[in-house]
Amino acid sequence: MAGEIALETGFFKKEELEALLNTLPVDITFVDSADTVRYFSSSKERIFPRAKAVIGRKVQQCHPQKSVHVVNQILEDFNHGQRDVAEFWINLKGRLIYIRYFAVRGQDGGYLGCLEVTQDITGLKNIEGEKRLLNNL
């Protein structure tokens, strides 16, 4: 359809896709195969704030110098097919933050880039029992 972004399993208007990505209960950042930051979501409660100025920068410039070697190792492993996921968790101001990096691969398995997914899992850690869909709506 005209004016829409066609995907293999459906399509979106640009406005819909952007709103959907910003509604996800996680922060996402995409870094392309040349280690350049290409996109980040703008959720209301973003854990690690991002300025639009990071778009087009090398991802290594967006991390503290003391952790750049870790970033480089993850990206190198992804690029060479030695790993598809790297995950970390940290305590930040009383919250438990879960940070995952995923290799993004094309249909041919070639490396397209890296997806960073960050989530505050403090509340999730405390879930017990079950809550049915219609309970407490």
Q: Is residue 11 part of a domain?
A: no
% of the chain surpassing 70 pLDDT: 96
pLDDT score of 49: 86
Q: What is the pLDDT of residues 125-137, one digit of tens each?
A: 989 988 887 766 6
pLDDT score of 95: 95
Alpha-helical regions (H) of the chain:
14-23, 68-79, 122-125
d(CA 61, CA 17): 28
Q: Is residue 50 part of a domain?
A: yes
Instruction: Please give the average per-residue pLDDT across 24-37, as a whole number.
Output: 97
- Which residues make Cβ contacts (< 8 Å) with residue 133, sequence separation at least 6? none
Q: Is residue 1 part of a domain?
A: no
pLDDT score of 33: 97
Number of structural domains in the chain: 1
pLDDT score of 84: 98
Please give the residue that has the higher pLDDT: either 120 or 49. Answer: 120
The range of the structural domain enclosing residue 73 comes to 25-122
